[in-house]
Every structure is written in C-alpha cells, then in structure tokens.
A and B are shown apart, each in its own frame.
Chain A
Amino acid sequence: GDSVTQMEGPVTLSEEAFLTINCTYTATGYPSLFWYVQYPGEGLQLLLKATKADDKGSNKGFEATYRKETTSFHLEKGSVQVSDSAVYFCALSGSRLTFGEGTQLTVNP
C-alpha cells in the first residue's frame, strides 16, 4: 500500500539557516504530493503541492520537487524564520490521503 516516510525530528535551527526535511514515498501509479504545515493550536494547512514528476511546488519561500526516480519530495527553504516553527507533514494522494509522521521544526532567534 501507499506509505510516506519523513525525516525524524525534532529539527532545531537558528534564524536564516537552510532547511531540508526529507520525504520519500511508496505508491502505485502517480499520486499527487503535498506538504502540510501545522502551527501551534491550529489545523493542518496545505503549504505546497506537486501533481506530476518534476513539478516544483512553492509557497512562502518553501520549495519541494516531485522526484519520481528517487520517489522523494524533500522540503527546502533557504532562510528560515522564527515564524516557520511548526510541524510539517508530507503526504500523498492516492486512493486516500496518506501522511508521514510529521517533523517538528523549531527556529530560534
């Protein structure tokens, strides 16, 4: 069945550091891939998405590229801010929405 494996957290960075959160997936067919973000006390929000191989999703300075050859969808940001502190979930949309375990990111001033 479908599965998503995310980089284990928590991740702690200083402001303006480079961020990478790894995500790999297993799926049949060609699912859409998503990154969701959950800020403290709020629901999950869609951060970015990619619907086919080599697509790059981007939003709020975050980027992720759909890599079919490596079955990956790593999340990156060149310079994180304190306000980026949240839990990040990688997900794929096959027959259902399948989530990774979530990665807690803390950015310190």
Chain B
Amino acid sequence: GAVVSQHPSWVICKSGTSVKIECRSLDFQATTMFWYRQFPKQSLMLMATSNEGSKATYEQGVEKDKFLINHASLTLSTLTVTSAHPEDSSFYICSARESGETNEKLFFGSGTQLSVL
C-alpha cells in the first residue's frame, strides 16, 4: 500500500531555534498534503493544506509565519517551526493524497514529536 514517510520521529530543540519536519510520499504523487497538530488526549487539529506548487492554506488561528509549509515537489512537503517556543511542543502529523482522490485514499505519516526546551 501507499506509504508516507515522516522525519524525524522526534526532535528536541532549544527555544528560539527552527525545526524542519519532512513528509514524503514514497510510491505515489502527493498533489495535496495536510499538516496536523495533536495535543495529548486531544484530536488531530488541521493546521494547513498544501497543494504542490501553490501556497499553503492555513486554518484559522494558525500563524503562517510561524509554521512555514513548503510543497515544492509531488513527493515532498516540509513544515518548519520557526523560532520555536515551549508552547509549540506537540505531536505533528502529515498526510497526503493523490489528485482526484477522496479522503478514503488519504495516507498518514507516523508523526513527529517536537519538544522545545
């Protein structure tokens, strides 16, 4: 089946530094990718939707200058948390699907646990 690879699985960084998370589709062309954030014992919250070659669409309340999303190719999207602070500590998950596919064909990465000291 389709695989989405997300790296790193976990990262610890100092406050004020930037962290990049990668999401790759390994065997299909991911025209659309989604980035979610999950707090402990809470649901996945959609942060943004990115389409290859276009600017990402951010959900209300998500700072686009804080969470930079790049989707420059059909197999790679990146989320950069800029000037990270302890409140950015969370579990980040990406998902991807091909053009024309519904959410039934949405594939997820294994997530990245970010801890900001």
* A101 with B110, Cβ < 8 A, contacts A32-B104, A46-B104, A93-B103 known: no
12 contacts between A and B (CB under 8 A): A32-B103, A34-B103, A34-B104, A41-B9, A43-B108, A43-B111, A44-B108, A89-B44, A97-B34, A97-B46, A97-B103, A99-B44
Interface size for chain B: under 10, 10 to 19, 20 to 34, or 35 or more residues? 20 to 34
In Å, the complex CA distance between A38 and B110 comes to 8
Distance between B48 CB and nearest chain A CB, rounded to angstroms: 11
Q: Is the CB of A44 within 8 A of B93?
A: yes
- B104 / chain A contacts, CB cutoff of 8 Å: 32, 34, 46, 49, 93
Q: Is the CB of A43 within 8 A of B93?
A: yes
Cβ contacts A11-54/B at 8 Å (1 or 0 each)? 00000000000000000000010101010011111100100000
In Å, the complex CA distance between A6 and B41 comes to 11
- A60 / chain B contacts, CB cutoff of 8 Å: none
Distance between A99 CB and nearest chain B CB, rounded to angstroms: 4
Tell me if A64 is interfacial: C-beta within 8 Å of chain B: no
Distance between B40 CB and nearest chain A CB, rounded to angstroms: 10
Chain A residue nearest in CB terms to B9: A41
- A100 / chain B contacts, CB cutoff of 8 Å: 43
In Å, the complex CA distance between A79 and B111 comes to 29
Tell me if B107 is interfacial: C-beta within 8 Å of chain A: yes
- A98 / chain B contacts, CB cutoff of 8 Å: 43
Interface size for chain A: under 10, 10 to 19, 20 to 34, or 35 or more residues? 20 to 34
Q: Is the CB of B4 within 8 A of A43?
A: yes
Q: Is the CB of A102 within 8 A of B6?
A: no
Tell me if A75 is interfacial: C-beta within 8 Å of chain B: no
Q: Is the CB of B6 within 8 A of A96?
A: no
In Å, the complex CA distance between A49 and B102 comes to 12
Residue from B93, B95, B106 with most neighbouring chain A CB atoms (10 Å): B106
- B102 / chain A contacts, CB cutoff of 8 Å: 32, 93
Tell me if A80 is interfacial: C-beta within 8 Å of chain B: no
Distance between B93 CB and nearest chain A CB, rounded to angstroms: 7
In Å, the complex CA distance between A93 and B6 comes to 23
Cβ contacts B1-22/A at 8 Å (1 or 0 each)? 0001010010000000000000
